[in-house]
Amino acid sequence: FSRMKPVIVVHGGAGRIFKEREEGCRAGVVRAALRGYRVLRQGGSAVDAVEEAVRSMEDDPHFNAGCGSVLNEKGEVEMDAIIMDGKNLDSGAVSAVKCIANPVKLARLVMEKTKHMLLTDHGAHLFAQTMGIPEVPGEKLITERSRERWKKNLEPDSNPEEFQKDLGTVGAVAIDSEGNVACATSTGGLSNKLIGRVGDTACIGSGGYADNHSGATSTTGHGESIMKVVLARLILYHMEQGMSPEVAADTALDYMKTRVGGLGGVIVVSKAGEWAARFSTKQMSWATIENDNLHYGIYAGEKHTKPVDEALASEREGL
C-alpha cells in the first residue's frame, strides 16, 4: 500500500475580479491552500483540509462567503455551504443560514452529528445553537462593498445580472495521504436574490461532490445553471469514462455553456492525485499545492509557481 502524495486545490470564485481586488483574491486563495496543506502534511484528513481552507476564505472579506457575503433583496446575508467525504459519500450542508461566521463548520456538524444531509434557515439556526456555535451579529458579516452593491442593485435602472459576474463562491478539494478525497463549498449566493433562494452550493452533485472511486470537485458560477446540469457530478462522470480532470472539467463547462448558457468554474482532484482548475468565465482565483510546489492564478493561462516552504515562510512573516 503506497501512501498518496497529498494535494489540495482551492478556488475563490469564478467571474469578474476587479483590478483593485486582484491582489487580495490571490493572497486569499494562496493562504487558504497553505492552511489546508498544513493539515494534510501533518497527516490530517482530506475533510479536515477542505474545511480549514474554506474557513480561511469565509473569514476573508474579499470573498462572497462568510464575512463579505452579498446581500439578499432585504439587505441581509443568507449563506449556503456543503462538505462531502469521498470515503463513504457522507455529506452535510446548510442553506439560508444567517449570523454565523463559518457555515462550512456547521455543514460538517450536520454531516457528523445528525442523520440528515441538509438543514435550512431556522432549523439550521436551532442546530447551530444546540452545537454551541456562537452567533455573530448580522452586521459583522456585512462589508461596505456588499452594502454598496446592494444599494446599486436597488436603483430602478440597475441590472443586478451585470454584477452577478463577480461571484466569489469559495471551495476546496483535497486528497490525503491515505487516498481519501473530500470537497467543500461555501457562498453568500447572488446579490439581491429573493429571500430563501438556495443555489447550487448546498446541493450535493451541483456545488460539490467527492467519491474515492473517482475524485472530488467544487464548483462556482451561476448557481441555477450549475443545478440544471448537476455540474460537479457530471465532471466526475466524465472522469469515470476515462477523461483527465482537465478534459472532464472543460467538457462539462462547455456543455453547461452550450446547453443552458451558463458560465462557471471548477476545481478537481482525481483519485490518482491529478488536479485541474478550469473556468469559462473571464477569471477565477485558484491555488493548488502538490509535490511541495504552490501554483496559483486568476486569468486563463496564468500560473505562478513557487516552493511551498518559501510560501509558508512569507505567510508567517505576513501574519
Residue ranges of the annotated binding site for substrate are 197-200, 220-223
Q: Which residues contact 59 (CB under 8 A, 6 or more apart)?
A: 66, 67, 101, 102
Q: Which of 71, 83, 52, 9 is nearest to 279 (CA)?
A: 9
Which residue positions form the known binding site?
A: 197-200, 220-223
Question: Is residue 169 among the annotated active site residues?
Answer: yes
CA distances from 224 to 71, 100, 152, 197 (A): 18, 25, 23, 10
Q: Which of 221, 250, 213 is nearest to 234 (CA)?
A: 250
CA distances from 63 to 29, 32, 121, 170 (A): 10, 12, 21, 7
| φ and ψ at residue 38, rounded to 5 degrees | -60, -40
Q: Which residue has the cell 505576513?
A: 318
Q: Which of 24, 25, 31 is nearest to 12 (CA)?
A: 25
DSSP-based helix, strand, coil % in the chain, nearest 5: 40, 25, 35
The two counts, helices (H) then strands (E), for the chain are: 11, 13
Catalytic residue from among 120, 130, 143, 169: 169
Give the C-alpha separation, 252 to 235, whole Å.
6
The catalytic residue positions are 169
